[in-house]
Amino acid sequence: MIKILMLLTLAVPEFTTAQMKQLYQDGEREMVVHDYLFNDYINRHAVKLRSHGISSGKRVLASVLIAKPKLKSNGEFDIALSEGTMKIIHLFRAIEVRGRNLEHLSALCIPGTTSSINLEASIKTPILYRFKIPDITAAVETSTRLQFKCKGKVVIDEIHLVASTKGIREEFDQLPFINLGHDKAVVPVQLNFDPSKSLSINGHKQLDRFKWFRYYGKPNDLSELREGRAVVLALIEGLSTYQILDADARFNTRVFLDPEGVEVGVTIGAAGRYDLQLTTLSDNVVHHFIGRTLKQAEPKGGETVTLDPQLNGFALFNLNGGKSNAYFGALQISRQERQL
């Protein structure tokens, strides 16, 4: 394995108009962000690369050094982020803080315009803390700083963005966002299979979920589903991730559908805001969506709509004509005795 620390300039292939047309809007946005990462952002930062494959000669981006403050401090303090960091941060898995006496570090958050996101630490040592990068919401996507809170004096030498174990490839992966066979006719086929047997290809009996369970299909019109509802957490045919329908017509959580199910928590705030928490049950990972906006009711005949929509109920249902039922163990609604 080869590790290189350097300022990197890469030649990333230009995407043609034909290629762009094959992608849906999510894919077009991600392609632009990926291009910005490799053609602009990393040219201004020290990066670490590693080889991808034994003999492919290709490399993947493993981490990026985003700050080197050499800071000694106590209490609460901010560290500035370089231009464009929040634009590309969701491509990485974690924020890694390196230094000394980090056991005194009590919290790290990304402050936003209306709310902040507290980051969860997955590794805690006196010389290294690693925080999971959450799903970035509109409230913090323009943030220019990280906010630290400490119970004692800490020394922060470096801050890195760390990719997943697979790294970030130089070539943009269109597969999750492309309409496969968009230029082909739809042909009906019949499949016969034996459920008592399992297929093994060169000893492999399972598919890589990250690679094969990400088919992107364009959903149908969702206006009816949003009608009269302040917020909807939807599982939409053709999409492999949970979708949120609220003030946004459709927000992709980028949380893949979990075969074991998902636990949902909603905290209603003031001025039509709410926080959503999804816990995928197969791995018990918590995903936070902070400071989202409830969909307001449409005004009628000169009426005005307040910033605090009235919530009249909760529903769990599917839209398949009643062919299957939905079961849930418990529903708890509580009012916290504090100012939201």
Q: What's the pLDDT at 339?
A: 40
pLDDT of residue 100: 94
**Residues 132 and 160 sit within 8 Å (Cβ to Cβ):** no
Laid out side by side, the sheet with 232-234 consists of: 232-234, 241-245, 251-256
Question: What is residue 197's predicted lDDT score, i.e. its pLDDT?
Answer: 74
Report yes or no: 116 and 129 within 8 Å, Cβ to Cβ.
no
Burial of 322 (0-12, 13-18, 19+ CB in 10 A): exposed
Tell me which long-range contacts 307-316 makes (C-beta under 8 A, separation of at least 24): 307/270, 307/271, 307/272, 308/270, 308/271, 308/272, 309/230, 309/272, 311/230, 311/268
Residue count (the chain): 340
Query: What per-residue confidence (pLDDT) applies to 8?
Result: 30
User: pLDDT 10s per residue in the chain (340 long)?
Assistant: 333 232 333 333 344 444 545 777 778 888 999 999 999 999 999 999 988 765 566 789 999 999 999 899 888 999 999 899 999 999 999 999 999 999 999 999 998 877 788 888 888 999 999 998 887 777 788 889 999 999 999 999 999 999 988 899 998 888 777 766 667 787 888 877 777 777 777 777 776 655 555 544 444 566 767 777 788 888 876 678 888 988 888 888 888 888 888 888 888 888 788 889 999 888 888 899 988 888 887 665 555 555 555 666 566 555 544 444 344 444 555 544 444 3
Residue 40: enclosing H or E segment and its boundaries? none
- pLDDT the model gives residue 321: 42
C-alpha–C-alpha distance, residues 330 and 274, integer Å: 21
Q: Phi, psi (5° rounding) for residue 31?
A: -65, -40
With b meaning 16 or more CB within 10 Å and e meaning fewer, what string describes 230-260? bbebeebeebbbbbbbbbeebbbeebeebee
- Please tell me the pTM assigned to this model: 0.53
Q: Please give the pLDDT value at position 102.
A: 94
At residue 186, the pLDDT reads 75
pLDDT at position 80, please?
92
Q: What per-residue confidence (pLDDT) applies to 204?
A: 73
Residue of 14, 16, 23, 26 whose CA lies nearest to 182: 23
The closest alpha carbon to 255, from 281, 274, 293, belongs to 281
Distance CA 220, CA 192 (A): 29
Please tell me the distance from the alpha carbon of residue 213 to that of residue 135, in angstroms, as a whole number.
20
What residues have CB less than 8 Å from 333, skipping those under 6 apart? 314
Ordered DSSP codes for 213-275: S---------HHHHTT-S-EEE--TT-SEEEEESSSS-EEEEEEPPTT-EEEEEEE-STTEEE
